[in-house]
């Protein structure tokens, strides 16, 4: 039974929470942490979609406030993708996070293709400073670990790579705490400029909103499509009956999202494709 799981910080990854627990308890072996938290030494550490959450909750001491749903909604990356998944598939994924492995979930969500997975856990230097002032330690934020997000939505600062790998075959049973990884030297790294900073910041802020809002029960692929059609019709890019003026939409889309920005986001546009 776990008696001293730390209180989670705002937007903290469950991975980060487990890493802080491991540091606090000073386990002699990484697998010992896995065993006590999840009930088996063979469970592989996963950053964004940790499995066997039911085991973790049942191993906590009486009086704790954690639930499986709370962990999924507030401390995994699933809420970012949830509004765009069919309800039956979303329920299957939530079930897997509770009783199964989390590593295969990326395929069910639709990750892959041209969007490369992140290689390193990332951080915002200003968030690190704020966290250390407020909590006396820093931690891994969920929003910083999303693909396509390069700016901190709070500080408008470039996210920096740590030297902790997202998927490390050499440390697949180890939780790495941000406070142990992020050095003071890294906080002074010079940040590259980006001429699309305002647009990238907007994307980051919208992603943060998705992470913080969990009730999408009324959202479906059909309702999202109908909303898009209504917005296009308001801009004379479609009829109210649902016919889309494809060439006008393509022109407007390329005007708003420059081609090199789409390439930067790994969302290249093939204008000749149907």
pLDDT in tens, 67-78: 999 999 999 999
Q: What would the mean pLDDT of 266-271 be, rounded to a whole number?
A: 79
| Crossing angle between the packed helical segments 87-99 and 68-75, to the nearest 10 degrees | 110
The pLDDT assigned to 3 comes to 60
Distances (CA, A) of 121 to 19, 26, 142, 160, 233: 13, 22, 10, 9, 41
268 has a pLDDT exceeding 60: yes
The pLDDT assigned to 221 comes to 78
Closest CA to 160 of 134, 135, 207, 128: 128
- 115: confidence class by pLDDT, cuts 50, 70, 90: low
- 188: confidence class by pLDDT, cuts 50, 70, 90: low
The pLDDT assigned to 138 comes to 97
The pLDDT assigned to 195 comes to 77
User: Can you name the residues that pair with 67 across neighbouring β-strands?
Assistant: none
What average pLDDT is seen over the chain? Answer: 87
Q: Which two tokens stand for residue 133?
A: 């002032």
The lowest-confidence range among 40-54, 105-119, 125-139 is 105-119
**DSSP E strands: which ranges in 82-214?**
120-123, 160-165
Closest CA to 77 of 161, 140, 30: 140
Q: Are 143 and 208 in contact (CB under 8 A)?
A: yes
Q: What is the DSSP string of 25-64?
A: HT-SSHHHHHHHHHS-TTPPP-SSS---HHHHHHHBPTT-
Share of the chain above pLDDT 70, in %: 90
């Amino acid at each position: 039974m776990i008696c001293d799981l730390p209180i989670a910080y705002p937007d903290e990854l469950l991975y980060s929470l487990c890493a802080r627990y491991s540091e606090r308890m000073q386990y002699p072996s990484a697998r010992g942490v896995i065993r006590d938290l999840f009930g088996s030494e063979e469970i592989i550490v996963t950053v964004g979609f940790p499995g066997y959450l039911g085991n973790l909750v049942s191993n906590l001491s009486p009086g704790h406030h954690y639930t499986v749903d709370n962990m999924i909604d507030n401390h995994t990356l699933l809420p970012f993708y949830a509004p765009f998944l069919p309800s039956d598939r979303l329920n299957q994924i939530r079930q897997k996070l509770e009783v199964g492995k989390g590593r295969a979930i990326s395929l069910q969500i639709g990750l892959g293709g041209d969007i490369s997975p992140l290689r390193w856990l990332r951080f915002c230097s200003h968030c690190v400073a704020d966290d250390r002032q407020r909590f006396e330690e820093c931690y891994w934020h969920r929003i910083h670990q999303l693909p396509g997000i390069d700016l901190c939505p709070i500080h408008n600062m470039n996210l920096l790579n740590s030297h902790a790998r997202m998927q490390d075959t050499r440390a697949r049973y180890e939780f790495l705490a941000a406070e142990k990884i992020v050095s003071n030297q890294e906080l002074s790294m010079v940040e590259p400029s980006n001429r699309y900073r305002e647009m990238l910041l907007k994307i980051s802020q919208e992603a943060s909103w998705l992470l913080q809002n969990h009730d999408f029960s009324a959202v479906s692929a059909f309702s999202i499509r109908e909303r898009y059609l209504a917005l296009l019709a308001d801009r004379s890019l479609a009829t109210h009956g649902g016919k889309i003026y494809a060439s006008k939409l393509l022109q407007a889309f390329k005007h708003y999202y420059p081609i090199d920005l789409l390439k930067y986001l790994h969302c290249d546009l093939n204008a000749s494709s149907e």
